[in-house]
Amino acid sequence: MSSAPAMLKGVMATRSGKIGVVLVGFHLLLALMSPWLVPYDFAAQTALVDHAGPSLAHWAGLDTLGRDVLTRTMLGGREALLVTIFGTGLAVVWGSFFGVLAGYLGGRIDELIMRSVDIFLAIPWMIFLLLVIASFGNAPIVMILTLGFFYGIGVVRMARAATLEVVVKDYVLAAKARGESPLSIMMTEILPNVRDVLMVESAMRWSWMLLAFSALSFLGFGVTPPTPDWGLMIANSRIYLALAPWPVLMPMIALSSLIIGINLTADALAKSLGVDKTTRALV
């Protein structure tokens, strides 16, 4: 196992890794600091100059309602990052537990868990998300639990596959021979040895969850107006793209740069840890 500084050094060893870390770090820092950095109130309207292009006063122009696009773009990633970071953590924790459990115990437990996973994977994911959010609302906790549950299903398969490779190793067999409990073996022998795979998977799940959250906002099931959000900004201004592209282009650039940063970081992390991403379950 590698320490956090060693892993960061490994990621930063490649040019793509450096770019990825800088992009992700920039967005995280912006999400934390943007309330004190934005030039205007995100809800302030200047109706007489709506759709105005970039100027010295408004560097990225104004949207349909005359609101500052730069301000709303700077604030637009806050809720997406909040929901998806906690959602990814939830998905990896519960998905890893059941995946390791299935891979280690095998038999009927494995069969029950994996058939349950297959059932949920057969449900179209967007319909599933829309149904839950329409029933329980779009509060952040609902979004976190919903996204965390759905994206954890794929983690179960990945963690199980990684566990099956580890469970036949000599150190696991030795722990069994010593009479250690299944929980102790899973926590001390198996989990540390599948950690690298889980970390790479976490980064990939995070990027996919960000896209899902933005898609929900685009469809009107995510952030509630007038709270700024990249997906919602694109949805509100897309019909005016030919007339005023800035309210659409700015959030698109912000979202794309974050996704690219996460994927570059995940690729560099996989190379640094020696994890072959092509062998992971693509779900």
pLDDT, tens digit, for every residue of 167-184? Answer: 888 888 888 888 888 888
- 3-state SS, residue 40: coil
Q: What is the CATH number of the domain that holds 272?
A: 1.10.3720.10
pLDDT, tens digit, for every residue of 120-132? Answer: 888 887 788 888 8
For residue 2, which of 159, 10, 189 has the smallest C-alpha distance?
10
What is the number of domains present in the chain?
1
Contacts of residue 91, Cβ cutoff 8 Å, sequence gap at least 6: 147, 148, 149, 150, 151, 152, 155, 205, 209
Domain that residue 75 falls in? 4-279
Neighbours of 33 (CB within 10 A): 11
pLDDT, tens digit, for every residue of 32-79? Answer: 999 999 888 887 777 666 666 777 777 787 888 888 888 999 999 999
Alpha carbon distance 30, 175 (integer Å): 47
pTM as predicted: 0.87
pLDDT at 278: 45
pLDDT at 277: 52
pLDDT at 19: 93
Alpha carbon distance 105, 102 (integer Å): 6
